[in-house]
Amino acid sequence: MKEFIQVKIYDTTLRDGSQSEGISFSKNDKIRIAEALDNFGVSYIEGGWPGSNPRDIAFFKAAKKMNFKNAKLAAFGSTRRSSNSVENDDNIIKLLESEAPVVTIFGKSWLLHVSKVLKITPDQNLQMIADSCAYLSKHNREVIFDAEHFFDGYKDNPDIAKETLKTAVRNGVKTVVLCDTNGGTLTTQIMQICKDVINFMPKGVSVGIHCHNDSDLAVANSLTAVECGITHIQGTINGYGERCGNTNLCSIIPSLELKLGKKTLCGDNISKLKGLSRFVDEIANIRSNNRLPYVGDSAFAHKGGMHVNAVEKIPLTFEHVTPETVGNKRRILISELSGKSNILTKIAEYKLENLSAEEIKEVLTELKRMENKGYEYEAADGSFNLLMNKIIKKHKPFFLLEGYRVIIEKRRYNEPCLSEATVKINVNGEQSLIASEGFGPVNALDKALRKALIRFYPCIEHVLLKDYKVRIIEGEIGTVAKIRVLIESSSGNKSWGAVGVSENSIDASLEALVDSIEYFLLSKEKYEKDSNFYDNNKVGLRK
């Protein structure tokens, strides 16, 4: 562990992050995320509230066998109840039983909560804080005091709010954390209050910040607090958290390291940041947010032709950091806004042969014509690659779809629909007619198409349909409107998109499915020996 760290990163994904709508971590999920966080280099991992639920108790029991290399494990809980002595308070007992070396307890610092929610006096509240901090410190725990609703409490009565911090420090606490629990404090207020708190804190006490994102200011407020002298930041991976979320550590860490020149334990691993972001999304079973700063797929995506031209010459013109620094990469988007620079970049990306000026013009013209019909290629790189090959007469189809039929039947009112699809394909003059059932018409078509092709191209067994989206393009004409279908497929270690457009949703879906498989076969043919694209190269393209 590094001897001198300017800012300590305290991760609360496993506790505060799990309060996000739609997120529920199992014990094993928590163990896997904790291991990843420790390897990445956070200073603290808040494992949960052992006094609140059996799952967190099970996690802390399992965590006793884990060997943390960088992080300290923290258990979270509240101060003792007003009706209990600290020795007999079940929450305090559970915190100690967790055997976590760090205990983070929260106490009320807003008079509104003290008098109206807890219904006790300010003196009683201070005594609860004092007893809890002293008792846990006496049991050789590193105690962190989270001053809940501190900024609202300070704005209401600064003396009472600050007294909660002083009480914690007098009773063995070395780190006090100012919490913007409602997420409603503006950055200028954060600055003023943090400066005041830091000025009156005794030497040797670390001041931290814990922000929620209800005003979309959690990251800005946390960074401002650091510029005021804060040395401890609490947050979550990808900004998970209750309501609008918490401070996003995937934005905080690179901003500290790359912008403010502050050092954290994570500094040496910052190039793995996007990987960590995606890993936690996968464990949480949540689609990654493409628009996240630094780690999102759109963070370094360029669409306008002039922008692409500039960033290809000097990346600094439209990129505030080098994408690879945080494990990301530049993406060039293709749309009706595309210019010559976009096309040239895509040509290089897909390793096509050098095109003439006339061919580039043809690609651009055809692209804009197709998008006028409703196609979009920004997330359909597979379809765009095929389109370019067709325009320059380089496309050789691997199969022809000669026809299809879909039957949807509902035999009884309370029974599910039955879907059956039949496809007829032609591969080098040899026909194949295959039927398959599915959970819906698109699923049935997908299965039938694969079954028809797999004896010709066994490798498509490894292609999986990851996502399927349908959008009405011309909503004003109702059920006869054009429909755009976008699908995402994967071969295990690479994903690609394909698009189809039609007035018929089934036809649009099948067009996208055909493009997806064609693109995979084309890529497999080109990069058969490239294990970076396809990790199961024991199966050839053809039998």
Specify the CATH number for the domain of residue 148. 3.20.20.70
pLDDT-based confidence at 349, cuts 50/70/90? low
DSSP string, 481-538: S-EEEEEEEE-SS-EEEEEEEESSHHHHHHHHHHHHHHHHHHHHHHTTT-TTT-S-TT
Considering only residues 286 and 368, tell me which one the structure prediction assigns the higher pLDDT.
Answer: 286
Exposure pattern of 291-304 as b/e (b: 16+ CB <10 Å)? ebbbbbbebbbbbb
Which residue in 369, 373, 381, 375 sits closest to 342, CA to CA?
381
Q: Which of 149-158, 170-179, 311-320, 358-367 has the lowest mean pLDDT?
A: 358-367
The pLDDT score that the predictor gives to residue 480 is: 56
Q: Which of 63-77, 97-111, 275-289, 468-482 has the lowest mean pLDDT?
A: 468-482
Give a yes or no: residue 249 inside a domain: yes
Give a yes or no: residue 172 inside a domain: yes
> What CATH number is given to the structural domain containing 440?
3.30.160
- What's phi and psi for 374, nearest 5 deg? 120, -5
Residues 391-414 pLDDT 10s: 878 888 899 999 999 999 887 888
Region 427-444: mean pLDDT is 92
Exposure pattern of 325-362 as b/e (b: 16+ CB <10 Å)? ebbbebbbbbeeebeebbbbbbbeeeebeebeeebbee
Overall residue count recorded for the chain in this entry: 543
> What is the rounded average pLDDT for all residues in the chain?
88
The pLDDT score that the predictor gives to residue 492 is: 76
Same domain assignment for residues 124 and 271: yes
Give a yes or no: residue 160 inside a domain: yes
Q: Does the structure show a pLDDT above 90 at 322?
A: yes
Q: Does the structure show a pLDDT above 90 at 175?
A: yes
CA distances to 98, 106, 165, 434, 450 from 447, rounded to whole Å, are: 49, 54, 63, 9, 5
Region 319-337: mean pLDDT is 81
- 380 is written with which tokens? 């359909």
The pLDDT score that the predictor gives to residue 543 is: 41
d(CA 6, CA 323): 24
Same domain assignment for residues 37 and 179: yes
Of 456, 484, 504, the domain-final residue? 456
Amino acid at 82: S
pLDDT-based confidence at 528, cuts 50/70/90? low
Give a yes or no: residue 296 inside a domain: no
- 204 is written with which tokens? 């040797």
Same domain assignment for residues 351 and 203: no
- 516 is written with which tokens? 């997806």
Same domain assignment for residues 321 and 278: no
Residues 196-207 pLDDT 10s: 999 999 999 999
The pLDDT score that the predictor gives to residue 329 is: 87
Region 448-454: mean pLDDT is 93
Give a yes or no: residue 289 inside a domain: no
Give a yes or no: residue 3 inside a domain: no
Considering only residues 48 and 476, tell me which one the structure prediction assigns the higher pLDDT.
Answer: 48
Same domain assignment for residues 445 and 382: no
Region 472-476: mean pLDDT is 65
Give a yes or no: residue 294 inside a domain: no
Which residue in 183, 295, 298 sits closest to 250, CA to CA?
295
Of 428, 456, 484, the domain-final residue? 456
505-526 and 381-391 are packed helices; what angle lies between their axes, rounded to 10 degrees? 80
Same domain assignment for residues 386 and 468: yes
The pLDDT score that the predictor gives to residue 446 is: 92
Same domain assignment for residues 382 and 339: no
CA 381 to the chain's CA centroid = 22
Q: Does the structure show a pLDDT above 70 at 470?
A: yes
The pLDDT score that the predictor gives to residue 527 is: 55
Same domain assignment for residues 212 and 63: yes
User: Pairing relation of β-strands 464-472 and 400-409?
Assistant: unpaired
- 115 is written with which tokens? 């008098």
Q: Does the structure show a pLDDT above 90 at 53?
A: no
- 512 is written with which tokens? 């996208």
Considering only residues 247 and 365, tell me which one the structure prediction assigns the higher pLDDT.
Answer: 247
Residues 184-225 pLDDT 10s: 999 999 999 999 999 999 999 999 999 999 999 999 999 999
The pLDDT score that the predictor gives to residue 167 is: 98
Give a yes or no: residue 292 inside a domain: no
Same domain assignment for residues 126 and 231: yes
How many domains, in total, are found in the chain? 4
Q: Does the structure show a pLDDT above 80 at 252?
A: yes
Same domain assignment for residues 248 and 378: no
Q: Does the structure show a pLDDT above 70 at 17?
A: yes
Domain with 182, as residue range(s), is 8-284
DSSP string, 45-63: EEEE-TTT-HHHHHHHHHH
Same domain assignment for residues 275 and 354: no
Q: Which of 38-47, 304-313, 431-440 has the lowest mean pLDDT?
A: 304-313
CA distances to 127, 185, 197, 362, 512 from 163, rounded to whole Å, are: 11, 20, 11, 72, 63
Contact between 136 and 103 (Cβ < 8 Å): yes
- What's phi and psi for 214, nearest 5 deg? -65, -20
Of 423, 439, 456, the domain-final residue? 456
- Beta-strand ranges (E) seen in 12-93 are 44-48, 72-78
Ramachandran region of residue 398, left (φ > 0), alpha (ψ -120 to 50) or beta? Answer: alpha
Same domain assignment for residues 48 and 162: yes
On the CB side of 172, CA atoms within 13 Å amount to 19
Question: In degrees to the nearest 10, what's the CA dihedral of 43, 76, 64, 88?
Answer: 140
d(CA 543, CA 541): 7
Ramachandran region of residue 361, left (φ > 0), alpha (ψ -120 to 50) or beta? Answer: alpha
